[in-house]
Chain A
């Protein structure tokens, strides 16, 4: 029981807002957007892990999306359901990612959740 509570607490901690450098207000915390596409770049680097993918827009045109996560050190620590590593996502992978969208309409997000082509939930801070 206490372990369950501990894990729940760990999940809450993990879901704490990322220490983004641009400050609050850049993303819309009340909104969520989900996009699916093909990964073009994955940067497992400090201070923020970055994911870029090409998404087919409703008008048929490709849109380049970008998303940010917390630091690689945090993602690689044992307390996550899926322990991240530098090859967890590769260019060419098909993924679906959900996050808080940029307030100014840029195709960028503060990532909350990523599901890979096999349906594996790589991260879920929703």
Chain B
């Protein structure tokens, strides 16, 4: 190798190193700027237990006329308007996915796995998986609407910002039937707060169903658990117990 050629190679190597160092300093959409990985479980704030099991805020969000009409016509199993399972129109009781963000309410753990260009959220409930692409891609526009939404994310410092769209309108935002339309857009900001919790600040925008965006937060405690199997279809094993419980007539049952 000639001296000139060696010098050229050395310069190229130095440039490559410099470029790589520069890239490392400037966050791109594909990088993870915080470690949110682990198995997380709900840790509702004190004083919220009564409603946090079925919705995201103490008071109902302001709905449009379209949203209110849907809300009034629904028959949730949970909350102040709760009806027996046999009468509810909550599709989760037919084992359809709860959708996003409702999945955050269900009291089962969730694991976050960070991969290059992608963050996975694996929910114990029915083994639902959210794939959040952080490689800079745009939303898909070629697919039908979905239960869990199409999610793309990027890092703003140590906060993972996720935007989800392309939802169907079959799910409710929560478990008490606050409705949404196919226009729903969910913005999530996930980060470790100063208590070491995973905090998820959420903003639901849906001009068709909500009079103004609904904003709320959920909190998660890190555990050393593993995600186990929990299949909705196994609910059938509970049916005999529930039938005996609900159909007891109080007479001749010694």
Contacts and interface: CB of A to CB of B under 8 A. Distances in A.
Contacts of A102: 245, 248
Interface stretch (B58-66, B158-166, B223-231): B223-231
B237 A45 contact: yes
Interface residues of A, number: 34
Interface in A89-108: 102, 104-108
A23 interface: yes
B245 A19 contact: no
A17 interface: yes
Interface string B214-253: 0000000001110011110011011001101110101001
A107 to B, nearest CB: 7
Contacts of A48: 238, 241
Contacts of B253: 106-107
Contacts of B238: 21, 47-48, 50, 68
Given A16-B107, A23-B77, A47 B234 contact: yes
B51 to A, nearest CB: 12
B242 to A, nearest CB: 6
Nearest to A43: B237
Contacts of A13: 43
A23 B248 contact: no
B124 interface: yes
A88 interface: no
Nearest to A102: B245
A86 interface: no
B84 interface: yes
16 contacts: A13-B43, A17-B53, A19-B106, A21-B93, A23-B82, A25-B82, A45-B234, A45-B237, A50-B241, A66-B245, A68-B238, A68-B241, A73-B108, A102-B245, A102-B248, A104-B246
Interface of A: 13, 16-17, 19, 21-26, 43, 45-48, 50, 57, 59, 61, 63, 66, 68, 71, 73, 76-79, 102, 104-108
